[in-house]
Copies of this chain bind each other. A is one copy, B any other.
Amino acid sequence: MLAQLIALDWGTTSLRAYKLAEGGQVLEQRSLSSGIMQLPKAPRVIAGRECTDGFELAFDQACGDWLDEQPGLPVIACGMVGSAQGWCEAAYRDTPANVATLGTALQTVRSLRGVDVHIVPGVIQRSRLPNVMRGEETQVLGVLQTLSNEAGADLLIGLPGSHSKWVEVADGCIVHFDTFMTGEVFAVLSEHSILGRTQQRGGSFDDEAFDRGVQVALSADGETGVLSTMFSARSLGLTGALSATAQPDYLSGLLIGHELSALARVLRHRRNSVHLPSIILIGNAQLCTRYSRALDACGFARVALVEQATERGLWQLALAAGLITPNPSR
């Protein structure tokens, strides 16, 4: 089966490449660590020329052989590759942002081998505290493609990660979203703070320790806020009430619990209702498992997981941009 599109999900720390065929079917996929903040440096010959540009090198690593086989394949990319620190800046689109039409606003950069890379713009919400996303807008489109029309009525799309996003959609538009730096805070605390010194990492998921952390965030003790409760990961260790192996998942549950309890509180204020929306989660399966457990504890009754949102979204945007046709000649 011939490929029709190369789709790249190019973030800060990783680069995922998909070779897609008719209907968006995934023929092959790769995951590289060549995110825009850790691009390759070793020079290579690309298209007959010695090359030292990190973006060109990463692009060649990700899909050079696919383009050698089928030189005419169109290429689309989303994520931080379109940021000011990326390969070519694709200016943000303002909320409310119609995700289906983002395909008409692609930014193009011509690679050394002469192939154009079409970059999806991110979305900005110019609220008092602004919010920005790059890559998540494509995943949101991928989710909307899989939903029936009714399903979107009272829905919040959650994208856990280093910076988790919670996205409200209406009539195919991203109308509002919030960002939480929970994942990155967990990483820097574990690697660089005193909390990491007593942690023993690398074990399997300790669901009991995780749930305990979530419950602390939801309890009266949680009212002091995460800057205070996080110290309990150390003090419970000092008193022998939390083992070294349980500390990482306890801290993870604590941070995610604070994120979701704040989210629930804010949603109830905004909606002026105790009722919480349905949740669709997209992302890493292990992380979605954690968020599902914590969402349940925080009173979110309806939670569903969606997979392959990125590649579906990129396929749809390539269609909207005319890079591919729905029923190509064979």
**Are A225 and B258 in contact, with the CB atoms below 8 A?**
yes
A274 at the interface (CB under 8 A from B): no
Contact mask for chain A residues 182-212; partner B; CB cutoff 8 A; 1 contact, 0 none: 1011001101111000000000000000000
Q: A188-B188, A188-B189, A189-B188 are in contact. Are A227 and B129 (CB under 8 A)?
A: no
Q: What is the CA–CA distance of A137 and B198 in the complex, to the nearest angstrom?
A: 24
Q: What is the CA–CA distance of A255 and B184 in the complex, to the nearest angstrom?
A: 16
**Are B241 and A182 in contact, with the CB atoms below 8 A?**
no
Q: A226-B227, A227-B181 are in contact. Are A129 and B188 (CB under 8 A)?
A: no
**Are B130 and A241 in contact, with the CB atoms below 8 A?**
yes
Binds B, one of A15-23, A95-103, A151-159, A229-237: A229-237
Contact mask for chain A residues 253-273; partner B; CB cutoff 8 A; 1 contact, 0 none: 001001100110110010000
Closest chain B residue to A162, Cβ basis: B194
Counted per complex, copies of this chain come to 2
**Are A262 and B129 in contact, with the CB atoms below 8 A?**
no
- Which of B216, B224, B236, B259 has a CB less than 8 Å from the CB of A227? B259
A300 at the interface (CB under 8 A from B): no
| Chain B nearest Cβ from A172, distance in angstroms | 24
Q: A163-B231, A231-B180, A235-B131 are in contact. Are A223 and B193 (CB under 8 A)?
A: no
Q: What is the CA–CA distance of A181 and B124 in the complex, to the nearest angstrom?
A: 32
**Are A130 and B239 in contact, with the CB atoms below 8 A?**
yes
Q: What is the CA–CA distance of A193 and B163 in the complex, to the nearest angstrom?
A: 11
| Chain B nearest Cβ from A256, distance in angstroms | 9
Residues in B neighbouring A228, C-beta threshold 8 A: 178-181, 259, 262
**Are A269 and B181 in contact, with the CB atoms below 8 A?**
no
Residues in B neighbouring A132, C-beta threshold 8 A: 235, 238
Closest chain B residue to A126, Cβ basis: B239
Among residues 113 to 140 in chain A, which have CB atoms less than 8 Å away from a CB atom of chain B?
A: 124, 126, 128-132
Residues in B neighbouring A238, C-beta threshold 8 A: 84, 130, 132
- Which of B126, B189, B216, B226 has a CB less than 8 Å from the CB of A129? B216
**Are A224 and B266 in contact, with the CB atoms below 8 A?**
yes
Q: What is the CA–CA distance of A265 and B223 in the complex, to the nearest angstrom?
A: 8
A171 at the interface (CB under 8 A from B): no
Residues in B neighbouring A258, C-beta threshold 8 A: 225, 227
- Name A's B-contacting residues (CB within 8 A): 12, 84, 124, 126, 128-132, 163, 178-182, 184-185, 188-189, 191-194, 216, 219, 221, 223-232, 235-236, 238-239, 241, 255, 258-259, 262-263, 265-266, 269
Q: Can you list 13 A-B pairs, Cβ within 8 angstroms, ordered by A?
A: A129-B216, A129-B221, A179-B228, A179-B231, A179-B235, A180-B225, A180-B228, A181-B193, A192-B192, A224-B263, A226-B226, A227-B258, A227-B259
